[in-house]
Amino acid sequence: AQSVTQPDIHITVSEGASLELRCNYSYGATPYLFWYVQSPGQGLQLLLKYFSGDTLVQGIKGFEAEFKRSQSSFNLRKPSVHWSDAAEYFCAVLRDKVIFGPGTSLSVIP
């Protein structure tokens, strides 16, 4: 069955520290991959996407993600976290329809 897992339910980092959020997917073929961010009371905003080509993709707000086919992973990274990055982060796959992971809640310590 198609699925998306995000092993970390909640992560806390200090402002200025680096960040990596993990995402693994289970799919018959390589799907299209996305990361979305959701601030409290808000809808989902697309951070970045991978369709094909370069496996390291750049997104908005200084985020990047790396697709690793051998590990079925699409981890999100940011070199220096800002307090405003505190939010819920969702990894998602697309093959006809968008399927979301359970999300990782990020807290940032000033």
Partner 1 sequence: EAGVVQSPRYKIIEKKQPVAFWCNPISGHNTLYWYRQNLGQGPELLIRYENEEAVDDSQLPKDRFSAERLKGVDSTLKIQPAELGDSAVYLCASSSGPNTEAFFGQGTRLTVV
* Interface ranges with partner 1 (CB under 8 A): 4, 32, 34, 36, 41-46, 49, 90, 92, 94-103
Strands 87-95 and 73-78, sheet pairing: unpaired
Residue placing its CB nearer to partner 1 in the complex, 43 or 110: 43
Q: Are 9 and 72 in contact (CB under 8 A)?
A: no
Residue placing its CB nearer to partner 1 in the complex, 54 or 96: 96
Residue placing its CB nearer to partner 1 in the complex, 26 or 80: 26
**Min separation Cβ 16 and partner 1, Å:** 28
**Min separation Cβ 72 and partner 1, Å:** 18
The dihedral through the CA atoms of 94, 95, 99, 101 has a sign that is negative
Amino acid letter at 27? Y
**Min separation Cβ 21 and partner 1, Å:** 13
* CA pair distance 108, 28, nearest whole angstrom: 36
